[in-house]
Structure 1
Amino acid sequence: MTDAVSSAANSTAANASKTATSSKSLASNFQTFLTLLTTQLQNQDPTSPMDSNQFTQQLVMYSQVEQQIDTNSKLDSLISLSGNQTSNLAMSYLGKNVVLSDGTGQLYGGSADWTYGLANGAKATTLTVKDSNGNVVYSKTADSAGNTAGTHDFKWDGTKNNGETASDGLYTLTVSSTAADGTSIKTSIASRVGVTGVDLSGSSPQLIVGTGEVPLSSVSLVTLPVSSSSSSSSSSSSSSS
């Protein structure tokens, strides 16, 4: 975690140094330009003065470059601030349960739980579980109860279609549902996992859940662990009595 934070800090420092170098270079070039301009004006032929439009255009160009460097500097600051805010948000998820809406679920101790929803009643619904490499490890056809409109719980014990036991880790559930006329039915999937760490080494923070990682964008709900909530409630009750 320390290395990740140091990496982010070094990246910010590098951007700041690059902007400072550009500003210094521009200032040096501008000073050289003014020196040349002054020398040319002092030594120009009075009967045939130099065209001032060219110098005016160059001054405008220098001004535009200076403004662009200043804009880039402000953008670097905004990007750095946004990155820090995103990292802080990710860190606040530590030790909490999150609901994932991208189909990702965690198999641990022989159990992985999802909830899927059907917008309308279906004729056929197929549930497919894939590993982190996208390989299908388990699939089944839902029974009649699992084809009704609404939400349904789906529990997988980690047994693959070939009879082998899947190792603990992150798996993805996909739901394919069709109506009697063959049209597709809109589905949704959710699962609850615990956040045990945050990976800040990449361009965007990743939440560590079990043995894998998920992006912040896949989180639709954040809750306290049941044990923590129960402890808080018990403490409040004890204090009241």
Structure 2
Amino acid sequence: MAAGIASSTSITSATATTTADTKAIAGNFTQFLTLLTTQLRNQNPLDPMDTNQFTQQLVQFAGVEQQLKTNDQLGTILASSKASAAASTSSLIGRSVVADGATTDLTGGKASWTLNPARAAARAIVTIKGSDGSVVATKTTTLKAGTQTFDWNGATASGLTAKDGQYTITVDAIDATGAKVAVDTKVSGKVDGVDLSGTEPVLTIGSSRVPASAVKSLVASAS
């Protein structure tokens, strides 16, 4: 329901903006037409308007008219695009997704990330930071080639248990030769809502916000 309301608000806002722009251009169009007809009506019969000048004004007249039509069409396309985005992303509510990202929620002492190193890493230092940017914990491990899960139980470097909330990881890895290994990070979770107020739909996963374009796959629900 929240997604539907946000969608309606976004489309209404876009339509209102387009309408305002169209009225502004229409006002200029009407003013231009009035000036042109007044000029023709009051020209000197002994010294009529130059043909080339008149042709240029007609071309300008046609250009403004075309701009009005183009704005109407763009407004329709934008409204249709936002409605389509609302329909497609709203269907993700309640679904589990995997998306690009390094920030996820620690809930009940459980947090996990999906790591995908470019190749096997002989040593990988995983640094976990809190929402304020401070280092909460570090762990040295090895990474095999391919996709794998990194789980964290909330244990901090001081031996305490971190509070539930958002945490971000960075991974510095090297292979057996000492060469740096790039590690792609992804997060997963159930979509709780969709924010359609911006230029791109944003999914709400717990307290995290993930752009719809960052979603890489859907996870089948457990039967």
Q: Which TM class, normalised by the smaller chain length?
A: 0.7 to 0.9
Q: Which runs of 5+ in 2 are unaligned?
A: none
- Stretch deviating more after TM superposition (13-22 or 106-115): 13-22
Q: Which residue type is aligned with residue 19 of structure 2?
A: S
- Relative to the length of structure 2, the TM-score reads 0.85
Q: Is the 8 A contact 2:113 2:149 kept in 1?
A: yes
Q: Deviations over 1:179-232 (max 9, x none)?
A: 244322132223321111122233322211112321112211113421xxx1xx
| Aligned counterparts of 2:183 and 2:171: Cα–Cα separation in 1 | 7
| Aligned counterparts of 1:11 and 1:207: Cα–Cα separation in 2 | 20
Q: How many residues align?
A: 221
| Aligned counterparts of 2:42 and 2:118: Cα–Cα separation in 1 | 79
Q: 1:85 to 1:132 in 2, by over 3 A?
A: farther
Among candidates 131, 145, 152, match of residue 149 of structure 1: 145
2:111 aligned residue: 112
Among candidates 5, 15, 18, match of residue 17 of structure 2: 15
Q: Is the 8 A contact 1:23 1:66 kept in 2?
A: no
| Aligned counterparts of 2:117 and 2:33: Cα–Cα separation in 1 | 70
2:100 aligned residue: 101
Q: Is the 8 A contact 2:7 2:83 kept in 1?
A: no
- Mapped pair 1:185 → 2:188: no
Query: Which structure shows the higher strand fraction?
Result: 2
Q: Deviations over 1:152-205 (max 9, x none)?
A: 332101122233432323322222211244322132223321111122233322
User: What SS does the aligned partner of 1:80 have?
Assistant: helix
Give the superposition deviation at 1:99. 0.9
| Aligned counterparts of 2:121 and 2:40: Cα–Cα separation in 1 | 83
Among candidates 194, 202, 207, match of residue 198 of structure 1: 194
| Aligned counterparts of 2:151 and 2:72: Cα–Cα separation in 1 | 51
Q: Deviations over 1:127-150 (max 9, x none)?
A: 1222334433221111xxx23333
Query: Which structure shows the higher helix fraction?
Result: 1
| Aligned counterparts of 1:76 and 1:181: Cα–Cα separation in 2 | 57
Q: Which runs of 5+ in 1 are unaligned?
A: 231-241
- Aligned identity (percent) is 36
Q: Is the 8 A contact 1:98 1:222 kept in 2?
A: yes
